[in-house]
Amino acid sequence: MIVFYKFLFPLVLLSSNLIDNDKKELVLELHINNKNITLNNSYENINTNIFKINKLKFYISNLKFYLKDKEVLEYHKKHILIDIENEKSLKILIPNSLRVDEIIFNLGVDTETNKSGAKSGDLDPVNGMYWTWNSGYINFKLEGVYKGFNEFSYHIGGFMKPHNTLQLIKLNLGSKNKIVLNFDEFFNKIDFNLSEILSPGKNAVKLSTLLANSIN
């Protein structure tokens, strides 16, 4: 026992420290006009619509890292809830030595998870990303105002065919230690007159495709 405390235990501590030091941060940046989105900031799209964003939350799942078309790491957490208001959620830790040039992930929660009962952590319904009146996760939640005080709410979700909104995203990272998700195309093409999408259906699928095209 003494041997354990005197020699092995410090070694264990040291090695766990080493593991922590051995990680690097990949920062997720959510962009409009090549800059991080700021909540409640006024933006203008190509149709001269002025809008502000006050909520942006979404799930990414099955995150995989690639180098030269070969998978080098599958992220340990299957689902990550990204919340622009939670800085911690925008940081993804990977091994320092890992070289990566591409990532692939799903935007949203997969069908199996949508159908398999109560979950905790990022998938806890208290996060406000679950429809209790029509079982299923909200994959993507965006709220804000346009043309002054007109509100828009997009709660995009739905996993049942033909209204599956899960989208595959592939991004080239280059050598930078950041992942940039670009929302320019989404806000340029969105029709704010359709200001509320709050349930699964055709419109939700349309918006999820628009999102995927913008980010990809």
Partner 1 sequence: MKKYTTIILTLIVVIALVHLYKIKNLTNLNYPKYFPNIEYDLSKNPIDEDKIELGKILFYDPILSKNNQVSCASCHSSYNAFAHTDHKLSHGINDKIGNRNAPGLFNLLWQKEFMWDGAVNHLDMQALAPINSPIEMGESTRNLISKLQKTNYYPELFYSAFGDSIITTEHLLKSLSQFQLTLISSNSKYDSVIKREAKFSDKEKRGYELFKNNCNSCHTEPMFTNYEYKKNGIKEDSTLKDFGRYNITGNVNDKYLFKVPSLRNLKYSYPYMHDGRFEKLQFVINHYSEIDIDNNLIHLNNKEKVDLTAFLLTLNDKEFSLNKNHKFPLKLIEILYQ
Residues that bind partner 1 (CB under 8 A): 114-120, 124-126, 130, 132-136, 160, 163, 200-202
| Degrees, nearest 5: CA angle 151-152-155 | 140
CB of 112 to partner 1, least distance (A): 11
CB of 50 to partner 1, least distance (A): 33
Nearer CB in complex with partner 1: 1/126: 126
List the beta bridge partners of residue 44. Answer: 50
| Degrees, nearest 5: CA angle 177-183-189 | 160
Nearer CB in complex with partner 1: 10/125: 125
List the beta bridge partners of residue 144. Answer: 53, 152
The residue with tokens 């909540």 is 39
Nearer CB in complex with partner 1: 117/148: 117
The full DSSP string for 180-197 is: EEE-HHHHHH--TTS-EE
CB of 67 to partner 1, least distance (A): 35
3-state secondary structure of 46: coil
Task: Name the token pair of 56.
Answer: 């942006």
CB of 91 to partner 1, least distance (A): 24
**CB of 109 closer than 8 Å to CB of 164:** no
Nearer CB in complex with partner 1: 45/164: 164
CB of 31 to partner 1, least distance (A): 31
CB of 120 to partner 1, least distance (A): 4
Long-range contacts of 110-114 (CB under 8 A, 24+ apart): 110/61, 110/62, 110/159, 110/166, 111/159, 111/164, 111/166, 113/61, 113/78, 113/79, 113/137, 114/159
Nearer CB in complex with partner 1: 31/163: 163
Nearer CB in complex with partner 1: 143/185: 143
